[in-house]
Amino acid sequence: AQSVSQHNHHVILSEAASLELGCNYSYGGTVNLFWYVQYPGQHLQLLLKYFSGDPLVKGIKGFEAEFIKSKFSFNLRKPSVQWSDTAEYFCAVNWNNAGNMLTFGGGTRLMVKP
């Protein structure tokens, strides 16, 4: 079965620290890749997505992610986090042979200390 792994379940950072959250997925052909964020008390919302083209994707709020096909990875990064980035982050993968279905990773809870 196709799977998505987020290895960091909980991350605690101080403001201005750099962030990298890992996301790996199993082989299954061509993929579309997503990072979603859930701020406390809010809807799950899209941070960024990759369908094709430049493997370095820019998203909202200064986030970016890099698709490395050879490593089956789509890690999320931000050079300098803010307290307002405290949230839960989910990586999701759509394999092109699975219609519009998304498979989510287990999520990473990020706490940014002021």
Partner 1 sequence: SQTIHQWPATLVQPVGSPLSLECTVEGTSNPNLYWYRQAAGRGLQLLFYSVGIGQISSEVPQNLSASRPQDRQFILSSKKLLLSDSGFYLCAWSRRSEQFFGPGTRLTVL
Least spacing, CB of residue 56 vs partner 1, in Å:
19
Binding site for partner 1 (CB under 8 A): 6, 9, 32, 34, 36, 43-46, 49, 90, 92, 94, 99-107
Given the complex with partner 1, which of 72 and 104 has the nearer CB atom?
104
Given the complex with partner 1, which of 42 and 70 has the nearer CB atom?
42
Token pair belonging to 114? 């002021």
Cβ atoms < 10 Å from Cβ of 60: 10
Given the complex with partner 1, which of 11 and 17 has the nearer CB atom?
11
Q: Residue 99 region, left (φ>0) first, then alpha (ψ -120 to 50), else beta? A: left
Least spacing, CB of residue 102 vs partner 1, in Å:
6
Least spacing, CB of residue 15 vs partner 1, in Å:
25
Question: Phi, psi (5° rounding) for residue 73?
Answer: -130, 155
User: Which long-range CB contacts under 8 A does 66-71 form with residues at least 24 apart?
Assistant: 67/33, 71/24
Query: Residue 64's beta-bridge partner residues?
Result: 58, 77
Given the complex with partner 1, which of 17 and 49 has the nearer CB atom?
49
